[in-house]
Amino acid sequence: MATNTQSRVMVSKPKGSSLIKKKKFIVGGAIVLVAIAYLMYSSMEGATLYYLTPTELLNRSDVTAGTDVRVGGIVVDGTVNFENSTRTLSFTVGDDQTQIPVVYKGIIPDTFKEGIDVIVEGKLTPQGVFDAGTLLAKCPSKYVPEV
């Protein structure tokens, strides 16, 4: 009687190769997550709009004439004046305590009118007039159609 012996040879992958693949996947995933987090942070950084009130602007010693700054407040009723020949808008922005005259040349937002919140970006002149390069009119939180 002949015995038939078969030898089974098992070929296995080195144990380290699956571990290396897992490490590559984890490192790659971490790099992608860090990149996404950085992109979110950098895009939100420009979206946040910090501004000073007129009172804060005049009380800060680190803001001198000629320094770029953002100022937010309410357009004071009766102060809006548009000079068509020079395309210059002048108005006063204020808070509960202080008012600052503003001069702006540029495109006027459709929502701009007296009594609304605005943010202006520019420089305070030595004469105390705010020379704005950007004018942003805040939209009301609730739409009210004009009558």
How far is Cα of residue 57 from the mean position of the Cα atoms in its chain?
Answer: 20
CA 147, chain centre distance (Å): 34
Note whether 97 and 117 are within 8 A (CB): no
Digit-coded pLDDT (tens) for 26-43: 998 999 999 998 888 777
Per-residue pLDDT of 60-116, as tens digits, reads 877 777 788 899 999 999 999 999 888 999 999 999 999 999 999 988 998 899 999
Q: What sign results for the dihedral spanned by CA atoms 30, 33, 35, 37?
A: negative
Superfamily designation of domain 54-137: Nucleic acid-binding proteins (2.40.50.140)
Nearest to 104 by CA among 62, 140, 75, 139: 75
Single-letter residue type at 16: G
Domain assignments of the chain as residue spans, ordered by start: 13-48, 54-137
pTM: 0.62
Distance CA 58, CA 51 (A): 13
